[in-house]
């Protein structure tokens, strides 16, 4: 019996449990594309038309032509220049070769597995935990409720959060001192450039709402790595190169996206509460319990259920409690403060309070947040709670090795913890997500017609697709799907103008043909006016003029049209193109050097 308990089966047990968790994760995601009703989560009503609109553009112009604007919605809007644009993302790329729902399911599974592998590598290579502990952390991160439920509901721009452990691994890993100098330099180059490219992907795939929480989480992990004695001077160089490449590559989209956000200035509505006890309770319930909190009995913090899905499960809570009890018994409670490490612990503790404080309406915090650039635009501040997920995964693995010093028993304990995490996920009520009602059929049919015929329907008119004979006609596909039949809808839905389109300027836009002139204006927005109004002698929300009929005609056929850039945009575009070329070329050269040196060493 001892041989079985401590032998090969004990070694394989955590791997078997991790594989079971991966299979469960894949099954959970794919069964919602579509769900048992043949439908999708409600937010795909915004993003699926965006993906199909992007496919229309790529069908006309090819995959490398930047879709800066689209005529498909609201009479014409910025597209790539929208901060939340997802047109340069994995699911959009896959849509060129597979149906939309398959591209979504494959993408979400890919990022989930990438997140688990990244967490495993982070724990093994940076924090040097045991293999069972690393597998436990990877499993908890893979099954976290934040990612799974948001991909099901349609919060597409959040998919990049699963890259966080991989980014942390690349930033913090210590080069092997036994390597040759050439191999070490090549490794630093690969890690720096790959990190910069991953960060650029986050921005171009619409992750503007997640970048700040991810940076905060990275800072916490950096403090934890320093506390564990894993810090080294090479981290500064990797971070500097990665940040420079990231900013340079993003300049092309960043300048017009900031201009668009500044020119429309949507209303800010912060959802905060003055009840600290309720806030702390909501965070704890959202992170640890199997049944998520669907609403909060507080004054201004009533949100959709998905906003409170962070579930890492009970295992981190149990491990934290057991570690505190064990440390007290072993008289190790003050050990984290030894050897001058108390400033790191203090800094980490202060950072831990930030996700709570940004949701607490007390001591002038609301005023402060409303005056912080970028932060004030997030509105749903509970999303900062994501930072606790990777931190809890890392802490769970570190404390697991502390609690189970006997390497022979770790496999069984880790497998049991993974089974508990998996069981807790399986026990969670998912009926809310299974019963979502967004109908993707019109968008799927539109993409299939274009794929079969190669013909993209141009935008012919502006109309309200829900209004027929003076009567509202509800349609589960949403107003934004109308472009599939040559109609750019108005009313429409574009969150940049406010969730109720509060700051959308209708102007001349009205029911009728898009090239119909009235008072010298066509019935189609000139989207360049949203981003570069001064250079194009117009105001945000202006229409094409009758003299710009040729530009409007090109635009409605999903083709680029002539408009003016400011000098700074030419500079930004040049910098981004140069950074992308140099980054990819440098990555290829450094990778080749690594392979060559590995062959020589072998």
Average pLDDT over every residue of 74-83: 95
Stronger pLDDT, 354 or 9, i.e. the higher one = 354
Q: Model confidence at 565, in pLDDT bands (50, 70, 90)?
A: very high
Average pLDDT over every residue of 154-173: 97
Average pLDDT over every residue of 573-589: 96
- Percent pLDDT > 70 in the chain is 94
Query: Do the Cβ atoms of 594 and 190 come closer than 8 Å?
Result: yes
- The rounded mean pLDDT for the chain is 90
Note the pLDDT tens digit of each residue in 525-559: 999 999 999 999 999 999 999 999 999 999 999 99
Least-confidence region, from 23-37, 62-76, 462-476? 462-476
DSSP secondary structure, 577-591, as one string: HHHHHHHHHHHHHHH
Q: What's residue 299's pLDDT?
A: 44
Query: Do the Cβ atoms of 179 and 66 come closer than 8 Å?
Result: no
Average pLDDT over every residue of 228-242: 92
Q: Model confidence at 300, in pLDDT bands (50, 70, 90)?
A: very low
Q: What's residue 265's pLDDT?
A: 78
**Residue 527, C-beta contacts closer than 8 angstroms, at least 6 positions apart:** 68, 69, 70, 76, 77, 78, 79, 555
State yes or no: pLDDT of 204 exceeds 60.
Answer: yes
List the domain boundaries for the chain: 2-434
Average pLDDT over every residue of 226-255: 94
- Own/partner pairs for 454-459, CB < 8 Å, 24+ apart? 454/59, 456/56, 456/59, 456/60, 456/557, 456/558, 457/483, 457/484, 457/485, 457/486, 458/486, 458/556, 458/557, 458/558, 459/71, 459/72, 459/483, 459/486, 459/487, 459/488, 459/514, 459/524, 459/556
Phi then psi for residue 488, to 5 deg, are: -90, 115
pTM above 0.75, yes or no: yes
Q: What's residue 293's pLDDT?
A: 47
């Amino acid at each position: 019996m001892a041989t079985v308990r401590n032998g090969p089966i004990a070694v394989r047990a955590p791997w078997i449990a991790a594989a079971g968790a991966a299979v469960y994760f894949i099954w959970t995601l794919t069964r919602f594309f579509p769900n048992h009703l043949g439908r999708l989560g409600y937010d795909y009503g915004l993003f699926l038309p965006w993906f199909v609109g992007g496919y229309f553009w790529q069908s006309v112009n090819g995959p490398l032509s930047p879709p800066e604007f689209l005529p498909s919605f609201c009479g014409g809007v910025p597209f790539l220049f929208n901060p939340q644009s997802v047109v340069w993302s994995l699911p959009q790329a896959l849509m060129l070769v597979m149906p939309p729902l398959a591209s979504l399911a494959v993408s979400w599974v890919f990022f989930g597995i990438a997140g688990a592998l990244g967490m495993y590598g982070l724990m093994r290579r940076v924090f040097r935990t045991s293999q069972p502990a690393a597998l436990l952390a990877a499993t908890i991160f893979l099954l976290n409720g934040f990612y799974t439920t948001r991909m099901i509901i349609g919060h597409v721009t959040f998919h990049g959060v699963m890259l966080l452990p991989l980014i942390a691994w690349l930033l913090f890993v210590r080069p092997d001192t036994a390597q040759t100098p050439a191999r070490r330099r090549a490794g630093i180059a690969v890690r720096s450039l790959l990190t910069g490219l991953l960060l650029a992907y986050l921005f171009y795939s619409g992750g503007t709402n997640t970048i700040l929480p991810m940076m905060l989480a990275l800072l916490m992990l950096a403090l934890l790595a320093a506390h564990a004695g894993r810090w080294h001077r090479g981290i500064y160089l990797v971070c500097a190169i990665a940040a420079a490449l990231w900013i340079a590559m993003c300049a092309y989209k960043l300048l017009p996206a900031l201009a668009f956000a500044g020119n429309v200035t949507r209303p800010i509505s912060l959802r905060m509460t003055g009840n600290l006890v309720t806030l702390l309770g909501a965070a704890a319930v959202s992170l640890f319990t199997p049944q998520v909190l669907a609403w909060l009995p507080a004054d201004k913090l009533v949100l959709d259920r998905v906003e409170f899905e962070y579930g890492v499960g009970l295992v981190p809570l149990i491990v934290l409690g057991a570690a505190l009890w064990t440390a007290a018994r072993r008289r190790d409670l003050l050990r984290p403060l030894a050897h001058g490490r108390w400033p790191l612990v203090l800094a980490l503790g202060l950072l831990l309070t930030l996700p709570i404080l940004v949701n607490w309406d007390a001591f002038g915090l609301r005023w402060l947040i409303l005056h912080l650039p970028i932060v004030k635009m997030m509105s749903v501040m509970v999303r900062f709670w994501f930072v606790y997920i990777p931190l809890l995964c890392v802490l769970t693995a570190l404390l697991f090795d502390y609690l189970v010093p006997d390497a022979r028993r770790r496999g069984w304990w880790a497998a049991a913890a993974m089974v508990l995490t998996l069981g807790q996920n399986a026990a969670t009520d998912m009926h809310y997500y299974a019963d979502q009602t967004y109908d993707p059929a019109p968008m799927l049919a539109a993409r299939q017609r274009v794929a079969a015929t190669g013909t993209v329907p141009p935008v012919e008119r502006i109309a309200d697709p829900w209004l027929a004979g003076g009567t509202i006609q509800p349609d589960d596909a949403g107003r934004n799907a109308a472009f599939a039949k040559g109609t750019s809808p108005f009313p429409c839905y574009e969150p940049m103008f406010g969730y109720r389109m509060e700051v959308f300027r209708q102007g001349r836009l009205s029911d009728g043909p898009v090239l119909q002139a009235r008072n010298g204006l066509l019935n189609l927005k000139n989207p360049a006016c949203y981003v570069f109004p001064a250079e194009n002698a117009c105001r945000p929300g202006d229409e094409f003029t009758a003299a710009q009929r040729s530009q409007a005609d090109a635009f409605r056929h999903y083709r680029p049209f002539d408009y003016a850039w400011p000098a700074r945009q030419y500079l930004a575009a040049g910098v981004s193109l140069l950074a992308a070329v140099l980054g990819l070329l440098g990555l290829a050269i450094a990778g080749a050097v690594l392979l060559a040196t590995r062959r020589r060493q072998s």
